[in-house]
Amino acid sequence: MEINVFKLCSGLRVLGYFMILLVAAIIGVSYYAVVVLTCGPQLLRGGFHSFLSFFIIIIFHILLILLLWSYFRVVFKDPGSVPENWRAVSAEENLEVGGSLAAADDGFERRPRGGYYCLHCQNGKPPRCHHCSVCQRCVLKMDHHCIWVVNCVGACNYKFFLLFLLYTFLETTMDTIVLLPSFINFFGEAKNHSSTPANLAIIFVAFGKLSTKWILYLDAVLNLAFALSLLCFLVMHASLLSSNTTSVEVHEKKGAVRWKYDLGRKKNFEQVFGTKKSLWFFPLFSEDDLDKIPALRGLDFPTRSDVEA
């Protein structure tokens, strides 16, 4: 009996729906720990403590709105689908419609579309397109399939994914800093009653059963773990963004003397975030950028003029 690996991979989508509930639960616990238990009571004290708590609550909600906005955009935005019966355009066809292989005004070469053929989708594959075994379809400029968003990350939602990582990192870092004093105070008090790790653990468990404050300590640990892991992801994707590379292209890039899609850091950034600076930190694109930057739609990509396609 043959096992269909692609059918098994598609089962990961079920896990993805559980991850969405997990994200909602983590956000709910963090909201309760930071806003309700920690900052809320401080608002009644007056003076500097009230001002600081009010400031923290405002920043918390701003980051939360941006985080959720970016998250839902990644979840519900099509990462990029290959048009039905898509095929590569030959050099002759490109010249017939007035195309040119000459360098454009910005110094980067516009080459005719090349591609391959996907046996699973029975359709052409544009450049940088890959078949996702979880989604069971080809995705334009696919980076990876993310179970946290039950969706692929591709040409059309990569910016939203990066913003989701950024705002989640900032939110979890802020939560960790806010909850850190309570976390330290608990272990300071516990240490005065016991010096052995075993007794300390017993006190922690017993205290958690007797008070809702255990949420503060649990949430502090969770946020610290997420902040550290997200920092690693941010550094990795910042490196990929600066070289105009996707996660699945890393191996291919290692074998190239010059990466053909590397147009320089500024151009590479604009290939993902667009040129409109006022929208860089929001999960949105301007119509002008969508019209002028083909890479945002995932079908055509400018390449370096000094590298053979």
Residues 24, 27: Cα–Cα separation, whole Å: 5
Residues 139, 5: Cα–Cα separation, whole Å: 19
Residues 293, 301: Cα–Cα separation, whole Å: 9
Catalytic residue flag (residue 129): no
Cα dihedral sign, 156-162-164-165: positive
Which token pair is 70? 């970016």
* Partners of 152 in beta bridges: 145
Give the CB-side neighbour count of residue 99, counting CA atoms within 13 A.
15
Which residue, among 306, 213, 222, has the nearest Cα to 264 in the 3D structure? 306
Residue of 39, 129, 135, 146 marked catalytic? 146
Residues serving a catalytic function are: 146
